[in-house]
Structure 1
Amino acid sequence: LLLVNERFILPYFGTKEKEEKEADTIDESNPVIIAGFGHFGSTLGRFLRASGIRATILDNDSDRVDLLRKMGFKVFYGDATRVDILKSAGAGEARILIAAIDSPEINFDLVEKTKKIFPNLTVMVRAKSRLDAYELLDMGINDVYRESLDTSLRLGVDVLTKLGFRKYSAVRASQNFIKYDEAALRELARHRHDQSDYIFTTREQIQIQEQMLNKDREVNPNINDHAWDSDSFEEKSDNGNN
C-alpha cells in the first residue's frame, strides 16, 4: 500500500500552496513537529513512529491530508508558516521542528519565522538541492539535510561492493565522504556569489576530498572488513554452532 501511495498517488498531491478550508484544531502536543508530509516527511515520520517517537504532523495539502488519514496517519491540515498554527501545534514546548515542506521558498519562510518567534526550538531542515543548503546555512541553520545525499551514497556503497570492495570498507568510505562533503559545503557557501572563486574553491575541495579518502583507504584498509561480509558472518556462525 505504501508503495502504491508513493508511486501513483502522492506525486499528484503537494502542489497546493493556499488553504481551501479552515485549518484543523490541533489536539495534541509532542516533542517533535513535522511540517510537510510528502515523500520526505512521510518516510521520516514512519521511521520516527516505528522508533516510538510521537510527532505532530502538519500539511497544507487537503487532498494529501485526507489520503494520509485513510492510511492511518494522524495529520493536521494547516499552514505551518502561520504563527498561530505553530503555537497550537506546541512549538513553544516542542524540542524539534522538522521543516520538510516540498517548496523551498515556503520552507525558508517557516525557518525564518521559527527562528524569530521560537528561538529555543531546534530546527532541522530538508534541503532539496545544494543551493538550498547554502541558503539555509546563511540563515544560521546547522541541521541541514540534503535529500539526495544519503541515497546517492547508498547506491555508491552497493556499486563498490559489487566491484569487490568489502562492505565495511565501502560503508566507511561513504561515511567519510559525507563528513568531508559537509565541511566542503560550509566552505563553498562562503564563495558561491563569486563564480570564478566558487569554481576554483570547488575544484580545490574536490581534490582535498579525494586525497583524504585515498589516505583513509591506505590506513588499515582491511580492519574489521570480514565481519561485515554476510558470507563470512554465516561461515563463522556455522563454525560456532558445530
Structure 2
Amino acid sequence: MAILPQAAIFLGAAVVAVPLSKRLGFGAILGYLAAGLAIGPGGFGLISEVDAILHFAEFGVVLLLFVIGLELQPSRLWAMRKSVFGLGLAQVLVTAVPLALAALLYGLTVETAVIVGLSLALSSTAFALQSLAEKNELTTRHGRSAFSILLFQDLAVIPLLALIPLLAPGSGDSGASGGWIEAAKVLAVLAAVIVGGRYLLRYVLRIVAITKVREIFTAMALLTVTGTALIMESIGLSMALGAFLAGVLLADSEYRHALEADIEPFKGLLLGLFFIAVGMSLNISLIFESPLEILGWVAFLMATKGLVLVAIARTAGLTWASSRNLAAAISQGGEFAFVIFGIAVASQLMDGGLAELLIVVVTLSMAATPLVAAANTWLLARRSGPAEEPAKPIVPEENQVIIAGFGRFGQIVARILRARKIGFTALDVSAEQVDFVKRFGNKIYYGDASRLDLLRAAQADKAVIFVLAIDDVEASLQTAATVSENFPNLTIYARARNRKHAHRLMDLGVTIIRRETLNASLDLSRAVLTGLGLPASEAERTVKTFQDHDEQRLMAQHAEHNDEEKMIYMAKEAAEELEELFEQDAKAEAAE
C-alpha cells in the first residue's frame, strides 16, 4: 500500500479512537492501542506491514529520550545518581528473580529463564512517561522515582544485550579477547560523542541558527538526534540511550528550548504511531488459543513487579500512596523486550513460539496499564489517607521570570534580577546576540519568543512575569498576542518603542508599559532646565507635571489611536492643556 493511504488510515484511526478513550477516562495511550488493534491484522486488516512500522515508530521513543535529556541538566542528573542506581538496580534484580524462577517452573532452561526474567523486569519508558506527563505527575515523588528506575532500565539494556551471546548455545571463551576490543571501541565512541556534543555540536547549531531559516534549524535538530542514535546503534548500544545522552549534553546550551520546541511535534506523532504499532502487533489468535495461560502470565508479571516496586519504594521512604502510584505506573513490560526476544531467538536461546507468547504478554500488560492506574486512582480517592506531596525540585528552576529580547533594555532588567538572586529565563531570536552576551557570563537561550511551542518549552506556564523587551515592534506585538492568548495568568511587563507601539500593546490587553525613550528624555530635560538656572526642585516639579499629564493623555488617546486626524487634533489639544497647566502653576506660585 502507498504511503499516503497508510498515513490517512493511521490518522483516521487515531482521531477516532484517542478522543473516545480520553472521554471514557482511559487516557490517550489505550486509545492508540485500540486504534492499532482495529486497523491491524487482528482487526480489519487495513495495515499488514506491522514489523516495519513498529521498527520505524520506535524512533518516537528515541525522540522522547532526547527531550527528557534536554530537560535534565548534568547537575540534576548527578543529583539523581542515588535514586537511579539505588532504586533502579534494586527493582531490576529483585523483580528478575521471581520471574526467572517462574520461567524455570514453566520448563525453560536456566539460560533462557535468566533472559526472560531480566527482560520482563524492564518497564515501558514510552508508556510510563507519556502517562505520567498526561496526568502532570512527573514532578511528584513517584514520578521522580519512576523516571530514575526507567533511566536505569535503559542503561541495563546494554549489558543485557551483551549477555545474550554469552548464554547462547556454543558460546565459549574464544571471544574473550575480542570482548575487550569491543569494550574499548564503545568507550572511544562514547568519549567522542560526549566531546563532540559538548563543544562541536554547539558551534554547528550556532552557524545554523545564524541563517535564521527555521526549517533548517528543525532539520539540524532532527539530524542531531538521528546521528547520535545511529552512532550508538553502530556499536551495539541503545539508540534511545544515545539520544538521551545527546539531550543531556545540550541541556546547558543556549539552544535547549529551541531544540525541544522543534522536536516536540515529531516526538508526539511518532510516539502515537509507536503505540498504534504495538496494538497492531498483538496476536489475537494466540490469545484465543491460550487465554488462561496468557492472562495468567500478564497477572503474574504485573503483580510481581507491583509488589516489588511497593516494597522498594517503602524502603526508600516513599508514602503508601506514592508507592502504589509508582507500582501502577511502571508494572508493565517494556518495548525493549521485543528487541531482546528477537535477538534471543536469533541466538537460539528461545524458540519463536515462546517469543511470540511473551510479546503478547508484554503488549497486554501495556494495554492494562491505564486500567490499573485508573483503578489505583479510584482506590486512593476512597481512602482518607494524606494526599501525596509533590517532590522537592532537585535544583532551582530558572523560570520565575521570562525575558523576551535580550538587548540593552532586557539586559538591564536581567542584571537587576540577578543581583537580587531572582531566577529568569532569557530568550532572543538573534544567534549573534546570544553568542555575544554569553561572553559576558549571561545565561540566555536562542529562540523566537512569539512561538507558542518555544514558550511552552521555556515553561511559560510556570512563570510569574513575562518581560517583553523585544526591539522589533511587529515581533513584540506578535509575542504579546501569543502570551496573552495562551498564558492568561502570566503578567506582561512591556517595553514600547514609542506612543504608537504602546497603544497597540494596549489593544492586546497589556497594561504595564514603559516607553524606552521616555525616562531618558525626561532625565535630560531635567538637566537642561537646571542648566538654564532653574532650581532643582522646580525642574523636578516641571518634569513630574509633564510626565503625569503625558500618562493621562496616553490613556485618553488609546481609543482613537487608529484615527490619524483625531490623533493630530488631540495632540494639539494636549499641548494647549499643558501650557495652560504651567501658566496656572506659575500664577499660583506668584500669588504665594
Distance verdict in 2 for CA 1:37–1:216, change over 3 Å: farther
The equivalent of 1:49 in structure 2 is: 418
* Cα separation, partners in 2 of 1:116 and 1:107, compared to 1, 3 Å: same
- Looking at CA atoms only, which structure, 1 or 2, has the larger radius of gyration? 2
Q: 1:87 to 1:201 in 2, by over 3 A?
A: same
After superposition, what is the alpha-carbon deviation per residue over 1:2-52, rounded to whole angstroms, capped at 9, x for unaligned?
xxxxxxxxxxxxx98655645722593332110000122122322332344
Task: Report how far residue 218 of structure 1 moved.
Answer: 5.9
| Per-residue deviation, 1:213 | 4.1
Deviation at 1:190, TM superposition (A): 2.1
1:58 pairs with 2:427: yes
Where does residue 151 of structure 1 map in the other structure?
Answer: 520
**TM-score of the superposition, structure 1-length normalised?**
0.76
Q: More deviation in 96-105 or 38-47?
A: 38-47
How far did residue 173 of structure 1 move? 2.5
Matches within 5 A, 1:14-29: 18-19=213-214, 21=217, 24-25=255-256, 28-29=397-398
Q: 2:502 aligns with which of 128, 133, 154?
A: 133
Aligned-pair CA distance for 1:107: 0.8
Q: Percent identity?
A: 35
Distance across 2 between alignment mates of 1:16 and 1:146: 31
In structure 2, C-alpha distance between the alignment counterparts of 1:217 and 1:140, rounded to whole Å: 38
In the alignment, does 2:463 pair up with 1:122? no
Farther off after superposition, 66-75 or 186-195: 186-195
Q: Which one-letter code corresponds to 1:25 in the other structure?
A: R
Q: Please tell me whether residue 67 in structure 1 is matched to residue 453 in structure 2.
A: no
| Cα pair 2:484 2:509 within 8 Å, conserved | no
Instruction: Select between 160-169 and 46-55 the one with higher mean Cα deviation.
Output: 46-55
Distance 1:195 1:81 in 2: 29
Answer yes or no: is the 8 Å Cα contact 2:398–2:423 preserved in 1: no
Contact 1:125 1:144 in 2 (8 A): yes
Of 170, 177, 195, the residue aligned with 2:564 is 195
Q: Which runs of 5+ in 2 are unaligned?
A: 1-209, 222-253, 258-395
* Cα separation, 2, equivalents of 1:205 and 1:126: 24
| Aligned AA (1:200) | Y
Supply the RMSD in Å over aligned alpha carbons: 2.5
Q: Does the residue aligned with 1:126 lie in a helix, a strand or coil? A: strand
Amino acid corresponding to residue 175 of structure 1 in structure 2: K
Q: CA deviation at 1:151?
A: 0.7
Residues 99-125 of structure 1 deviation map (CA, whole Å, 9 limit, x = unaligned): 111211111111001111100111111
Aligned length: 207
Corresponding residue number in structure 2 for 1:113: 482
Indicate how the Cα distance of structure 1 residues 218 and 43 shifts in structure 2: closer, same or farther if over 3 A, else same: farther
State the alpha-carbon separation in 2 of the partners of residues 54 and 176 from structure 1: 36
**Which residue does the alignment assign to 1:34?**
403
Q: Secondary structure at the match of 1:84?
A: helix
Residue 205 of structure 1 corresponds to which residue in structure 2?
A: 574
In structure 1, C-alpha distance between the alignment counterparts of 2:554 and 2:503, rounded to whole Å = 7
Relative contact order, higher structure (CA 8 A, sep 6+): 2
SS in 2 for 1:42: helix
Counterpart of 2:538 in structure 1 is: 169
More helix by share: 2
Q: Is the 8 A contact 2:473 2:501 kept in 1?
A: yes
Answer 1 or 2: which has greater strand percent.
Answer: 1
For residues 212 and 35 of structure 1, what CA distance do their matches in structure 2 show?
39
Is 35-44 or 151-160 further displaced after alignment? 35-44
CA contact (8 A) 1:127 1:146 kept: yes
In structure 2, distance between residues paired with 1:51 and 1:166: 36
The letter for the 2-side match of 1:116 is E
State the Cα deviation string for residues 65-92 of structure 1 (Å, max 9, x = none): 1111111100111111122221232311
Q: 1:182 to 1:85 in 2, by over 3 A?
A: same
For 1:131 and 1:16, how far apart are their aligned partners in 2? 31
Is the contact between residue 59 and residue 77 of structure 1 (CA under 8 Å) also seen in structure 2? yes
SS of corresponding position for 2:399: coil
CA spacing shift, 1:29–1:48, aligned 2, 3 Å: closer
| Equivalent in 443, 448, 467 of residue 79 of structure 1 | 448
Using the alignment, how far apart are the partners of 1:182 and 1:109 within structure 2?
24
> Which residue is 2:363 aligned to?
none
Contact 1:28 / 1:89 at 8 angstroms: preserved in 2?
A: no
Deviation at 1:195, TM superposition (A): 3.2
The separation in 1 between residues aligned to 2:492 and 2:563, in whole angstroms, is: 29
**Cα distance, 1:144–1:118 mapped onto 2, change above 3 Å:** same
Q: Residue in 2 aligned with 1:101? A: 470
Distance 1:55 1:84 in 2: 18
Partner residue, 1:185 = 554
State the distance in 1 between where 2:568 and 2:519 align.
24
Q: Distance in 1 between matches of 2:577 and 2:476?
A: 32
Amino acid paired to 1:199: I
C-alpha deviation, 1:135, in angstroms: 1.0
